[in-house]
Amino acid sequence: MLALYRKYRPKKLSELLGQEHIIEILRNAAKQDKFAHAYLFYGSRGSGKTTTARLLAKLVNCEKRQKDVKFREKGEPCNECRACTEIDSNQAMDVVEIDAASNRGIDEIRDLKESVKLSPFYFSKKVFIIDEVHMLTREAFNALLKTLEEPPAHAVFILATTEYEKLPATISSRTQKFNFKKLAIGDILKQLEIVSREEKIKISADALELIAALGEGSLRDALSLLDQIASMDSSIELKDVERIVGKIGYKKTAELAELLLRGDLESSLSYLSQINEEGYNLPQLGKDMIHYLRRTLSLKLSPGVEELYKKELTADNLALLKKHSDLINSERHINLLKSFIRAYSEMRYSPFPIAPLEVAIIENLKD
């Protein structure tokens, strides 16, 4: 059975989430039939780099877009011609995808150079997609550079990476560069809702929200997790997702944060003990608490960061964060955050991960 992230992979630029600035540029290039010979897509995992590379391969080769001037004005692939359908089904001989993580040597790039010289079999352009390009060796980069400097007219290169800073400037300077941003949690949540309806997955709103948050800006990761959890026969609730991933939801993290910010030592320790008994991942809880406390502090001291948090949090969760920021005492709660950071570094290697958290709470909340 096809994985959800592959089944619901965008087939048009308009379906691409959260990358409007990139969509506009590529659409205009398609309308004017002015494509570069080399592109560099960089940004966080699961943000749409490889998907966009395949969309660009379709745009470059779409037969209807090339022949129909009126259709070209849409700046989209037709998804009906031979080029579009073969690329969608991964059967296009003129679209070569290379995973640089496992094909990183000079021999592979030499093979690529030989392949570049050959004219396309069926399409107008031969497209080479090199994923995780930062993994190439220095010798391989040097060989690739010569190809990028003097590419044949029929070749288009699309380089993709999650680590832009590792690329030699000589390579990146010869490409059109596009920065892919992390997806907002709201965009991921909307797509999860659509997929859940289409697949008839019975899942609560809270459970979907946690899955969207666990994606950490990656739609692919969120869809993969939904795929995993969808195998359950019954209706999926928040507690089911929490149990499977070993992580508590945002609202439970917020409940503990409120107890801490109000200085309620007894209730905080009791709540922590309950979470531990239920078998949740305590180092992950420590990490989540650090993020929650830093956000409340930042929101208290710099209200302007609310605009940034709108991308990371749902409206309800942001409202909860704002409520808790009103409880902030800067000096006291900066020390609390420092204690949690120290506790997190200790608990990752401790046979008793609850102990550093308990000590951090007692140190800061005792009279």
Banded model confidence at residue 105, pLDDT cuts 50, 70, 90: low
State pLDDT tens for residues 130-189. 999 998 888 888 888 888 888 889 999 999 999 999 999 999 999 999 999 988 888 999
Q: What is the pTM of this model?
A: 0.82
Phi, psi of 233 (to 5 degrees): -75, -40
The contacts of residue 265 (CB under 8 Å, 6+ apart) are: 361, 362, 365, 366
Mean pLDDT of 329-344: 93
Mean pLDDT of 187-194: 92
pLDDT value of residue 251: 87
By C-alpha distance, which of 13, 18, 359 is closest to 185? 18
Residue with tokens 């999860």: 192
Domain limits, the chain: 4-180, 185-245, 250-365
State pLDDT tens for residues 265-294. 999 999 999 999 888 889 989 999 999 999
- The span from the first CA to the last CA of the chain, in angstroms, equals 58
Two tokens, residue 27: 């659409």
Angle at Cα 59 formed by Cα 56 and Cα 62, nearest 5°?
Answer: 140
Least confident span in 24-28, 179-183, 246-250: 246-250
pLDDT value of residue 367: 66
pLDDT value of residue 233: 65
Domain 4-180 CATH (choose: 3.40.50.620, 3.40.50.360, 3.40.50.300, 3.40.640.10): 3.40.50.300
pLDDT value of residue 115: 84
State pLDDT tens for residues 297-306. 999 999 899 9
- Give counts: helices (H), strands (E), the chain: 20, 5
CATH hierarchy code of domain 185-245:
1.10.8.60
> Would you tell me how many other CB atoms lie within 10 Å of the CB of residue 166?
11
pLDDT value of residue 104: 67
The contacts of residue 85 (CB under 8 Å, 6+ apart) are: 79
60 or 314: whose pLDDT is higher? Answer: 60
Mean pLDDT of 333-341: 94
Mean pLDDT of 186-197: 92
| Plot region of 167 (φ>0 → left; ψ -120 to 50 → alpha; else → beta) | beta
In angstroms, the CA 57 to CA 13 distance is: 12
State pLDDT tens for residues 198-246. 998 999 998 999 999 888 888 999 999 998 888 776 788 888 888 888 8
State pLDDT tens for residues 49-101. 999 999 999 999 999 999 998 999 999 999 999 999 999 998 999 999 988 87
Whether the pLDDT of residue 45 is over 90: the answer is no
Give me the CATH topology for the region 250-365: Zinc Finger, Delta Prime; domain 3 (1.20.272)
Cα distances from 1 to residues 136, 219, 367, in angstroms, run: 33, 19, 58
Q: What is the mean pLDDT of the chain?
A: 90
